[in-house]
Each structure stands twice: as C-alpha cells, then as structure tokens.
Copies of this chain bind each other. A is one copy, B any other.
C-alpha cells in the first residue's frame, strides 16, 4: 500500500546517511528533516511565518491535543490542519498513543485500545485503532501514524512483547479502516507504521517484520528517547534500522538533542520531531553552535553578543543576550518568542547543514566538527 501522490526519493547517500525528498499533497520537504511540534496547531510562541523564516518545511500536530481541543470535526470543517493553522505546507499527526500512555494515572490500556481522562476536564475518552484513524483523517495531515502502544522505560520483556503484539494488531485494524475510509482518495494521505519493542532486539525484529508485511509507505521507530541511556538508544536504533526498507522514509519519533539527530542520521533516519527547541526556550535555554546557553542566567546580564554569535537568524542579527535575558526575567512574552525562534532556526539550520554534508559526502567530518565545537561550550542538559 502506497499513496499515489506521496513519494519518497533518495538523492544521495553518505554511508548509511541519506539525503532525500518527500512529496505530499501540500508540497515537498527535504530529508533528513526536523519537524517542529505544533501541539495544539501552533508551535508554541511561534507563528507560521516564523516557522517559514526558520526554514521548516513540515510541522507536526498532536492528535491527542487536537482531538480534545478544538476537536477534529472543527479542523475538518475549516479545511484540515494546514488550512486551519495557516501553515499551508506538509503536516504530520502522531497517533496520540504516546500522550495517552504517558499519563499513566489517567489512562488504562487493554487489547482493544486505551481509555483515558482528558487533562482539561476529566471527561472519559476511548482511543482504539479505528477511532484514531478517523480522528487523524479528519484532522487531515499529509502523513498520519498508526495507533501504537509505547511502553515506558524500563519495561520488562513481557510488557514490551505485549506492546509489540498490540502495536501490530492495532496497525492491521487501523490499516483496514484507513483503506476503507480513503478509498478513491488514496492520494491525499500516507499512513506510516511504528516499530516498538523497547530495548529488546528480538522484539524490535519481530515488530519491524510484522509491520513490513503491511507495506506502509513509511516507518517510524517509536519507544525510544523515553528514558533509556544514549548508548541503549543508539544500539536499539542501529539494530532496528536493518529491517526497515531503504526505499521508505524512516522516522525516529520524539528525538531529540543535536547529538542524537547526528547519531540517528548516521544510522539512516530521515525524519525527526521534538519539542526540545521551543520547550527549552520557554525555560530560559537556547541551543547554540557552542552548546546550550542558559540565557536566563546572571552571567549574560550585560552580554551584548547575540544568543549565538555564529548564527545568522533574524533574532541573532538584531538582539543581544542581555536584552533577551532582561525580557525573560520580566516575564515578557517577547523573550519566549525570540528564544523559540532562534532555537527553531538552529535546529533547521543544523538539518540543512546535515543535508548539504551528505550531498558532499562529508557527513562524518561535519558531525565530528560540529560536535567538537558544540561540546566545548556545553554547559547544560
């Protein structure tokens, strides 16, 4: 199964790293790509113009949040996610599973799906594979995700195995619903599968092989960056990648720090999403070429330099650390706007440089040089 208009083309390889282009009904995006997360439709403290200014080409919306508020029907009535939020470019929605299973106090899961209570008003809701497909199809992103069970870390092997079995069963049920619901308009949306299995190689292999039978046009690696060590993440990812088809985009969900992106690209990952750039910006930390900068600290109180002296984003061309820190300490919204913009630009610029280095067959050198400088100045995690 592969959507007609959805297309993934590989232009270059450098080792396992890949440089490609994904085509969707809302246009193309270049891979490896980092998707800013617009939880409720907007990336926090950013406008669609800001995302464009940063060079983002695809954004992610959270199914869990959008389902609860404003509800998928309203988004559908207003033309779908990319029209509703003024973005007009490619979008992806996650499955909602990660949010539901993170709220362990508010949710229960069984073979059929998950019952959970809204964090807004405590109302009860049921997510199951067909429902999650209906919601995502109504939201109307270009790429949607199978409903999966993401187990916490650490998870014993039995729990992780249950997660894998449910993830497969739910992927099958979702796909049946999806094929039925999109009959005649297959061009409009692509459904990806999600590989689970925690840090157990045996389970990762089973999960990948099961999902390959369903022939999704793209595959995600889920269940990582949930608390395991960087070493476990890398080993699990590297092991899993061998099972994922070369001709489909591969998406590492919820990752991550710059060093994680570089590691994953070196293993052949094409897509990422993470709230890190904007979430950290709102607590007073931005990413720079010399590592994380805690710009709320007193040490930058009179620092006239930009957040990142090597950055050419519009924030770094115009504003000083001292000014942004002052605004942050006065709880001025503008500080969050400026810091979010810079860090989002930093991530997009990193991806541009990664893509360029792959085309130039220079990825390993780029990775090494980037990290040498980044880690010299690194002060925070």
Contacts and interface: CB of A to CB of B under 8 A. Distances in A.
B74 A44 contact: no
Given A323-B86, A332-B40, A77 B302 contact: yes
A44 B45 CA distance: 13
A47 B338 contact: yes
Interface of A, helix, strand, loop or mixed by DSSP: loop
How many copies of this chain does the complex contain? Answer: 2
Interface in A26-55: 40-49
A78 B330 contact: no
A359 interface: no
Contact of A332 (B42, B84, B86, B332): B42
Interface residues of A, number: 39
Interface in A46-81: 46-49, 65, 69-70, 74, 77-78
B78 A319 contact: no
Contacts of A337: 45, 47, 333, 337
A66 to B, nearest CB: 9
Contacts of A69: 326, 329-330
A280 interface: no
A318 interface: yes
A132 interface: no
Nearest to A65: B330
A334 interface: yes
A85 interface: yes
Given A48-B319, A74-B301, A74-B302, 8 more contacts: A41-B323, A43-B334, A44-B332, A44-B333, A46-B334, A69-B330, A70-B326, A86-B323
